[in-house]
Structures are given as structure tokens and as C-alpha cells.
Structure 1
Amino acid sequence: MGITVGTAIGRRLALVVALSCAFTVLGLQVVPPAGTPTEMWATHATAFLWTSVVWDGRSRPEPAVAGHLAAQLALFAGVGLAFGWDPVDLAWMGLANVAGGLLLLVLYARLRTGTTMAPVTQTANLGLLGLSVVVSFLIALVGGFPGVELGQLDRLTLWWVLRGTVYAYVAGVTLMMIFHFDEEVVERAPRWAVVALLPLGAVCVWLTYLDPSLPLTWFLLLPALVGGSLLAPRGAAVYALVIAMLSALATLSPTNQFDYDGFFPASVIIDALVTAATFITVHLAILRHQRTTATAELERQRGAASEQAVLLGTVFETMSDGLVVLGPDRAVALHNGAARQLMGRPIPVGRARNWVDYFGLTAPDGSPVDPEDLAWGSGGTYRGELRVGDRLLDVTSWPLGDRGGRTVVLFSDVTSNRERLSELAGFAGVVAHDLRSPLASLHGWLEMAEDTLTAGKPDRAGEFITRAQVSSNRMRQVIEDWLTYTVQRDGVLTRTEVKLATVVDEVVASYGRAAGRAPGFELDIDHTVEADRVLTTQLLANLVGNAVKYCPEGERPHVRIRSVADDEPDFVRVEVSDRGIGLPPGEEEKVFEEFHRADAHRGSYSGTGLGLALCRRIVDRHGGSISARNNDEGGATFSFTLPTR
């Protein structure tokens, strides 16, 4: 394993190796008197930390891990030999402590949660404390501490277990937290608290070691409570480590008066107290961090829920489909504005109503509907079409599946869709009649032309070809009318000032001024409108074209076009009158429907029934109105309005 000192792992390893060297020297520099432990012994703690830097304790270790374990043994043996320790005892203690550190890492790896090595949960913190006790006891049991024989169980063993625990746990929990804790969400402590904590801890340590005869050892718990309550986990770990190191240094001071007399001597009690203080500091910090994290997550979820509620509320109120939520008693619990608009009456919130009677619901054909057939709010599903006034609604209901037993009813306006289907059906009829008929004629005339050419009669062939061209022109006119209607009925409306006289002159000019069948025009139009010029030209061209076309055979078409100010302010009324065949009685409104053609005119006059439908669409888009009537003197008048601003 290649480790660069500049990396995070490299820096951690350098620190741990330095601590291992320092604690090994401090622990082995003096051989303790028989029956007492040394003041410092952190070999298995540094082994635990050293190994944790290069291995997580869970995955299969790389070969380099064995090299690090060997380096730990070599350091322990080298320092011990330098201070005159027995080689055999030294080798055994080195193996026991390094193996104990490795065992502590493996057990702790099974205990911690997630991928982080830091003890970020109460279970991990408490578990590391318990494992430190167990591992220290196992090391003592195999004689891994100075002066302890294999299997020896007495008060010296107990003292060594406590001393081993304080170093394994304090060093392990603090440095693991410092190395691996990820401070994504932390609640920062006040600056004054951070500044005041260290002097407070130092004073409490001094008071503890002031006089063993005074009951002041509990002072070590005071900074633990304050630090754990105010600091984030990493800051708490640093603070606990500083207090523990101050306590350890105090034991080396000549003024240290804590001895090893009695079954629980004062020196051992101090070890237990330092362990407890560290545990309290870290544990409180972990609880505080979890509270902060939970609060932040709650705020995040609350914010997300609020945003989601706003989004759903916006969608709910802006959707074009009506949405109603019914309770188990079929009373309305919630509805949006579209439902009110589609139903045409206020929705009775909080009350169960007979929807059929209240809203006047009927079947699409107008027949009555049984309220029980709707099954809204009864836990079942429904799908069908209903009519409300002049609207045709597609209605779907289904249960929400929640504990409240609520039902959702969705209303979709399909009136325009059905009208469009009717248009398509009408177009199919046009294709079947007005397109197929000239196509058959075209095919027949071409066959006859071919036969006459084969028989050597080219003059007759020319007549048939001319008639074929007429059929072809009829087909082309059908196609062009449909394309014009489709493109211009919903095209972009570009309003400009349009002089009606100019547009009419362009339309009239296309009919020429020749005598005979050339139409006669009477013009009295000098108003200006605010309209789309292209659509206005199309509107007048269609009306003038009909006035010229629907003229009795043999008569000269006469068309009168005039404009006047309409009764409605800011509108101009334009009238196009002719002296033609007029409108069939009762069909003054039907002539504006798509594909409508009077039965009396089908055989005499060609057309698709789209021209006047397009005229109405153009006028409607401008906000005007259009109508038709028969003249007393004969012919018909088409009248429409356009805005002047």
C-alpha cells in the first residue's frame, strides 16, 4: 500500500506513528515496582489506531497491513530493549498488545454502522467502551501487562484492566472521531463557550489533583458535561483528548499524591473517572449531533413537503380538468376551480348531494341517468361520459386507497373532441363524395380519350381531355379548400390597421372588367379595421366568391359591398349582398357549419362546404360576429363585424 504523507491517510499515519513512539517510550522508560502498574500504557490503543489507518477491519487485508503490524512490534521491542526490559517478557507483551489492538479493531468494525470509522452513534460509543474493557481484560489474562502472569486474577489485574481501558477507549474514541467524523450538519457552539472551556477543564484537573484527601475528583465531570452539551462531536473529541492528556501528564508530576493503596486505589479511580468524563463528553456530543441532524432533516423534509404542497396546489388549481375529492359519505371534501367551471354551478363542499339532480347530469344523448350508477364515493370505480348543459364530460372516479376511504372524481371536457370527430366524419363524407366522384369522372374521361385516339378520332379525344381537366380542377379545389381551412382556422393572428377599400379592390380585381358574365360590383366601403390582413382578405374573397358563384345560369352576377359603423362601439359592420339564388329557408345558420352544403345546390354548384365555416372562424377569432339572410329582392346578404381597435 503506497501512502503519501500529504494525503489524509498519510497525515493520520504520521500522527499515529508519532503517538506510538511517544507512548511506547513513556510506558517502557521505567520498569514498575512489583504489584503496581505503570502510569502510562497505551500500546494496544496505539496498535488499534495505527492499524485502523491502513485497514477498515471488515474487508480482506492487503499484504501491507502485515508490514504495519510488524513495524508496531519492532517499535515496542526496540524501545523496551533500550530501557533494559527482559527480551522474553518484552516479546510476549508486544505480541499480546498488538494482537489486542488488532482484535479491538475487528470487533469494533462489526459494531459500527455505515461506512464511517467514527463512533457517530450511541451504540458505537458505548460499544467501543465495552470492547476496550474486554480486550484489556484478555490482554491481562494472557499476561500481556508488566508484572501480570498468565491467568493471574487479582487486584493488580483489575488495575491493569482499568488502565488499559482508559487508554484504549479515550485514545480510540477521540482520535477516531477526529480522523473520520464528517461534519455535514453541525450546530456550532458559541465562541465564548469554546474560549472558556479549556481554562475550565484545566482548573478542574488541577482541583482533582490538588489534594487526594478532599472529595474533589468529581470536578473532572464538570467540563465533560459542559463540553458535550455545547460542542460538535469532533470538537468534543478534541476537548476530551486534551483533558485526558492533562490528566495523564498530571500523573507524571512530582506533586501527584494518588497512590495504589487499597483494593480500589485513588490512582485507579482517577483512570475510571477520566474514562467516564470522556464517555460523557462524546456521548452528549453525539446526542446533540443526532438531534441537530434530525432537526435539519426534518426542516429539509418540511421544506420539501411545503414546496411539494405549493406545486401540487398550483397544479390542482391551474389544471384544465375538474378534480373533486369525495369523502366516504359522498360529501365533497375538496375541489378545484375547473370543476366549478365545468359543472356550471357551485360545488357543495361538506354536503352529500344528488349530483344528477343538482347539476342536471344526463347521458350523452340526453337520456336520464340513475344516480346509483355513478358510484362516486362508494369505493368503486366509474368511467363514462355525461352531459352538463351544452358540455360533454368524460368522467372517471377511483378510490384513493387511503384510510379515509376517499374517492377522486376527474372531469374532462371532451366537447371539442367530439365536435372534431364530427368534423372528421364530415370530411370523410366530403372525400367520399366530392373527391371520389370527380376522380371517377377523370378516370372515365381519360379512358374515353384513349379509346378515341386508338380509333383514330383525335378531335373527339380533345373534348374528353377537356372534360377530364374539369374533373381534375374539381379535385384540386376540394384539396385546396381543406388545406386553406386547416391552416388558417388556427394560425397566428397578426393584427394591423387594414383599409377595407384596399382589400376589396384586390379581391374584385381578380374577376376582371370584361363584359358578359363578368360580375358587376357596387362598392361603398371606406372604413379601417384592426385585423389580420391575410385573414381579412381570405374572408372577403370567400364571401365575394360565393356571391359570384351562386348566380342563376345565364345571368350576370351583381355584388354590393358596403361598410357602416356597427351598433357595438369600436366595431365596423361589412355587408356582402348579391342577387343570386339565395339561401334555402331555415339554413341561414347551418351554412356556416363545416362541410354543410344545401341539398338543393349539390348537383348544380360545386364546393366543399368549408368556405363559410372558415369565414365564421376568422370573424370569431377577431371577436366579431357573422350572419346570413335572404334579401327581399332576391339573393342573400352576408354581414360580419370586425374591430376598429
Structure 2
Amino acid sequence: MTASLARTAAWSALCLLATFAGRMTIIDGTSLSLVWPAAGVTVMWFSMQRRARLRWADPLMLGVITVTANLATGAPLALALWFFAANLTQVTVFLRVHARLSPGLWGAGGDAPLARSADLWRLLVATAAGTGAGAVLGPTGIWLVTGHVSWMDAAVWFTRNGVSILLILAVGLRIGHHWRTGPHLRRVAPLRLAEYGALIACSISAYMVGFALNHGLPLAFPLLAVTVWAALRLHTTFVVLHDLCLGAMAVLFTLHGDGPFATIASHQTRALVAQAFVGMVAIVGLSIALGRDERNELLGRLTDTGRAAAAQAQLLTTIVDSMREGLAVIRADGSWAMRNPAALALLGGVTSGTGTVADPDHYGLFRPDGTRLPQEEMAHTRALAGEDVPSMELLVRNSGVPDGRILSVSARRLQGDDGVVVVFHDVTAERRQRDELTSFAGVVAHDLLNPLTTIDGGRRTSTRGCVPCPTRLRSATPSTASAGSSGPPAACGT
């Protein structure tokens, strides 16, 4: 609670100074000020106090400050109350619109900095909504109290408050975010420091020539060159401070009666043009600087993505090149997209020399039985035709493989591409082992055939040599045999 009250007191003091400064620039014959820094200070105050415990104290202090400053500078009480209502409405509308458009931005409920062009345009929309609401109440109060008001008064109110909010809030959001997240100081190169110094010197000189010298030339808008220089080259926080200082110089020279805007006869028009110039300086500088930051961030991401992709590609290349199986990718036109060293070695090192797949005779490809392999039976041709080739065996016999080699080839079409991936696997040893096992099984079967035949013949002979005697079988039945008789049975007399 103590900390919240302390912050409220500090912001109140700053707002009081800004209000008095604005009241010192009242346009002759009107109740309007040429500048109103209190608009930006008030919006910044309420933005920083969004999470304060005693938020009710802030509108109360704003009312006290507004009424006190206006009464002290000669404004009637009724007009001071109208100004307080206009300022409070302006702040309320701005905060609600800004929080709705940029909820993640620091000062609007989030933690993100003012760092993108979209943030600037949303800030401009919220500023226009807030100052528009204030411009309805303020000039209305002037009309009700004084009895006269013009559309130029409303335009001046809208422009001066909008420029004040844009410049001061942009500075506050950038510096406040740095303060909250901790300083990120980096060593600045000597040449860059020299550029900062040169820009400051050129800016002061240009504005002195454009505003201080009485040459009668409209040299205000060419002064945007120094703003563009800063926005293209230097830090964004420095750019918003630079814009604020240049805007303050333009307004001060105009108030003093110097510069191209001081020659405008109408006070309202003079104020409107001066504020429009300051607003243009702020928008041009911020939009270029934030766009540059976005571009640099995007380039950094692209660079990191490219490096990651290159590292991933290098890893995959290393893995593919170290494989014992051959791997190749063939495009729809028959050209090699890639092939690893194992694929070339398994084909005996034979290449077409044209970057495309040659006919089977060029590589010495045959069917496993040694007959010629047609082009339409090659694995990649079948896969390009839409057929899935899980496995097929080929015989390779050329100058690189004079003894021949059996390959198991599989091919599959790539999804979303017009090519196929082909995998080669040397199955010569497996094929030889399989043939040896087949031969061994044949020999074993032949060697076991004679003993089995002999056993089968002996079994049949013994079966024919002794046939049980029916008489003996009948005499051995329990009904005729004596239970106590002993001795061997009678031999069969066959």
C-alpha cells in the first residue's frame, strides 16, 4: 500500500508539472493550449498503475491536479471540471481499447515490449479512440462555458493530445520495459558511437537552420531526413527519444515565434500544423525503426533455421553415406537426385556419365536366372508407374563385379514428389548360404534313403515269415487252458 501511494504521489507531481507546462502555451484568444504533455503523462501514469492496489486514488489525484492547475492559470471552475471529465474519459477509453487490441503488450496487461509495426498501429487506433472521446467532451465544455467553439478547436484538441500520447507513451513503454526486465547493455562499437554523435549534431544543426534562422523558407518537412537516418540505423529506444526531442524543439521554436509554422496567421491552424509535423516525425521514425527490427528478427530466424537445416542435412548425409545398403533417389525424368557411395559400389562402380539412369545392359543387370532384364522390369520404373516394389532380386555382372552379385532391390514412390527412393541390399552371401543349405539337405535326404528302404524291406519280410496259428490262439483262451498248468506252449507246426 505504501509503495502504491508513493507511485501515485510521484506520478501526480509529474502530471502537475506537465499540466502547468501545457497551460503556459494557451493560444491567444482561446482556452486551448498549443501542446498538452499532460495527456501522454496521464495515460502513462494509469498504464503503469494498472496493477496498483489503490487504483481509486489515481482518478482522485487526477481531478485535484486538473482543477487546481486550471484554476491557477485563470480558467473558471466549470471549465476545469469539464477538462477533468474529458481527460478521465480520454484515459479510460484509451486503456480499454489498448488492452483489447494489445493484451500482451507491457503496459496493457502483458509483458511484451513495443517491438512490432502492428503494435504501433494498434497504439495509434487506441490513441485515436481515446483522444476522440476527449475531443467530444473538451470542446463541448468550452462551448457551454464560453459560448463559442469551432471545429478547429476540436481538431487542435484531437491532434495535440494524440501526438502527446503517442510520443510520451512510446518512450515510456520502451524505457519501462527495459527497466522492468533488467538492463541489457551491450558494448557499442566506436564507429556506432561516432554515428550517434554525428546524428545528434546533425539533428540540432538541421533544426536550428529550419526553425531558428529567419530565411522564410518552408524547410520543416525536409528535416524528416534525420528522423529516417536514426530509424534506419540506430536503436529503437533512441529513435523514440530522438523523435520526442525533435518534436519538443519544433514546438518550442513555434511558441517563440520562429520557424516556418510561426508565420501562419491563424493560431488554431498554426497549432494544428505544428502538432501534425510532430506527429509525422513520431510515426515515421517509429514505423521505420519497428519495421527494421521485425526484418532483422525475421532474418535472424531464417539464418538460424538455415543453419539448423544445414546441420540436419549434414547429419543425414553422414548417416546415409555410412550405410552399407545402397540408397538412391531417382526423379521422374530418370535423373539421379542422390545416391550414396554404397549404391555405386554395389553396382560395381559403373555410372552412366550423364546424370540419368542408363538401361539395364549398361550396368550388367540380369534376372536371377541370368536372362536379360527388360527396362520395364527395373524397380524404379515399376515404382514410377505406381507399383510398390517391396523386394526383387537382380544379378549384377559387369567389369566391376566379374563373378556376379545378387542384389535385393526395393523401390517406393515419394509422397508429394515425382521421384522414387530405391534401396539396394547385397544378398549374395545369403543366396549362397541358402543354396548350400538346399544342397546339403538334398545330400542328407539321399543318404538317408537307402537305410530307410532297408528298414522298410526287413519289416515287411519279418511280417510275412510268422503267421499266428488259429488253433493255438483258440487253445490259449481262458476257457480251455488249465489254470495250474506250466511249461512252454506247444510250437506252431506250420
TM over 0.5: yes
Select the structure that is richer in strand: 1
Distance 1:186 1:329 in 2: 56
Alpha-carbon contact 1:259-1:265 (below 8 Å) kept: no
Q: What's the counterpart of residue 341 of structure 1?
A: 345
Distance 2:312 2:4 in 1: 48
Q: What's the counterpart of residue 94 of structure 1?
A: 84
Alpha-carbon contact 2:329-2:421 (below 8 Å) kept: yes
How many angstroms does 1:236 deviate by? 0.8
C-alpha distance after superposition, 1:208-249 (max 9, x if no partner): 432494423335423212222221222211211222233344
Q: What's the counterpart of residue 484 of structure 2?
A: none
Q: Aligned in 2, Cα 1:46/1:261: closer, same or farther, shift over 3 Å? A: same
Q: Aligned in 2, Cα 1:15/1:227: closer, same or farther, shift over 3 Å? A: farther
* 2:189 corresponds to 1:194: no
Q: 2:169 aligns with which of 165, 168, 172?
A: 172
Q: What's the counterpart of residue 241 of structure 2?
A: 238
Select the structure that is richer in helix: 2
Q: What's the counterpart of residue 120 of structure 1?
A: 115
Distance 1:284 1:267 in 2: 26
* 2:130 corresponds to 1:138: no
Report SS of the residue matched to 1:258: helix
* 2:236 corresponds to 1:229: no
1:12-91 pair list within 5 angstroms: 19-28=14-23, 33-35=28-30, 37-55=32-50, 65-81=55-71, 83=73, 85-91=75-81
The one-letter code of the counterpart of 2:117 is Q
The one-letter code of the counterpart of 2:391 is G
Distance 2:105 2:158 in 1: 30
Alpha-carbon contact 1:345-1:359 (below 8 Å) kept: no
Alpha-carbon contact 2:228-2:285 (below 8 Å) kept: yes
* 2:424 corresponds to 1:411: yes
Q: What's the counterpart of residue 258 of structure 1?
A: 262
How many angstroms does 1:112 deviate by? 4.5
The one-letter code of the counterpart of 2:78 is V
Distance 2:408 2:55 in 1: 72
Alpha-carbon contact 1:329-1:352 (below 8 Å) kept: no
Q: Aligned in 2, Cα 1:368/1:17: closer, same or farther, shift over 3 Å? A: farther
1:210-609 pair list within 5 angstroms: 210=212, 211=214, 213-218=216-221, 220-250=223-253, 253=256, 258=262, 261-262=265-266, 265-348=269-352, 350-355=355-360, 358-363=363-368, 371-377=375-381, 378-380=384-386, 381-388=388-395, 391-403=405-417, 405-414=418-427
Report SS of the residue matched to 1:138: helix
Distance 1:241 1:120 in 2: 18
How many angstroms does 1:187 deviate by? 11
Alpha-carbon contact 1:212-1:266 (below 8 Å) kept: no
Report SS of the residue matched to 2:380: coil
How many angstroms does 1:260 deviate by? 7.0
Alpha-carbon contact 1:43-1:97 (below 8 Å) kept: no
Distance 2:52 2:392 in 1: 71
Distance 2:407 2:131 in 1: 80
C-alpha distance after superposition, 1:385-413 (max 9, x if no partner): 4143564444221122345x111101233
Q: Aligned in 2, Cα 1:153/1:82: closer, same or farther, shift over 3 Å? A: closer
C-alpha distance after superposition, 1:529-565 (max 9, x if no partner): xxxxxxxxxxxxxxxxxxxxxxxxxxxxxxxxxxxxx
Distance 1:309 1:25 in 2: 66
Q: 1:154 aligns with which of 141, 148, 151?
A: 151
Distance 2:31 2:430 in 1: 97
The one-letter code of the counterpart of 1:346 is V
The one-letter code of the counterpart of 1:344 is G
Q: Aligned in 2, Cα 1:4/1:299: closer, same or farther, shift over 3 Å? A: farther
The one-letter code of the counterpart of 1:166 is V
Report SS of the residue matched to 2:34: coil
The one-letter code of the counterpart of 2:389 is Y
Distance 1:353 1:2 in 2: 86
Q: Aligned in 2, Cα 1:103/1:317: closer, same or farther, shift over 3 Å? A: same
Distance 2:433 2:82 in 1: 95
How many angstroms does 1:47 deviate by? 2.7
Name the % identity.
Answer: 20
How many angstroms does 1:384 deviate by? 0.9
C-alpha distance after superposition, 1:33-86 (max 9, x if no partner): 54252133133322322232244xxxxx88755554444344434544555643
Larger RCO of the pair (alpha carbons < 8 Å, separation 6+): 2
How many angstroms does 1:172 deviate by? 2.5
Alpha-carbon contact 1:174-1:238 (below 8 Å) kept: yes
Distance 2:394 2:124 in 1: 75
How many angstroms does 1:303 deviate by? 2.4
The one-letter code of the counterpart of 1:158 is A
Q: Aligned in 2, Cα 1:17/1:194: closer, same or farther, shift over 3 Å? A: farther
The one-letter code of the counterpart of 1:359 is G
Report SS of the residue matched to 1:147: helix
Distance 2:288 2:166 in 1: 16
Report SS of the residue matched to 1:325: strand
The one-letter code of the counterpart of 1:407 is V
Q: Aligned in 2, Cα 1:20/1:395: closer, same or farther, shift over 3 Å? A: farther
Distance 2:232 2:140 in 1: 36
Q: Aligned in 2, Cα 1:268/1:259: closer, same or farther, shift over 3 Å? A: farther
Q: Aligned in 2, Cα 1:408/1:17: closer, same or farther, shift over 3 Å? A: farther
Alpha-carbon contact 2:27-2:268 (below 8 Å) kept: no
Alpha-carbon contact 2:379-2:410 (below 8 Å) kept: no
How many angstroms does 1:338 deviate by? 0.3
Distance 1:341 1:15 in 2: 80
Stretch moving more, 260-269 or 198-207: 260-269
Q: Aligned in 2, Cα 1:92/1:147: closer, same or farther, shift over 3 Å? A: closer
Q: Aligned in 2, Cα 1:332/1:199: closer, same or farther, shift over 3 Å? A: closer
The one-letter code of the counterpart of 2:40 is A
Stretch moving more, 376-385 or 350-359: 350-359
Distance 2:268 2:33 in 1: 16
Q: TM-score, normalised by structure 1?
A: 0.55
The one-letter code of the counterpart of 2:33 is T
Q: What's the counterpart of residue 608 of structure 1?
A: none
Q: Where in structure 2 are there 5+ consecutive unaligned residues?
A: 107-111, 397-403, 452-494
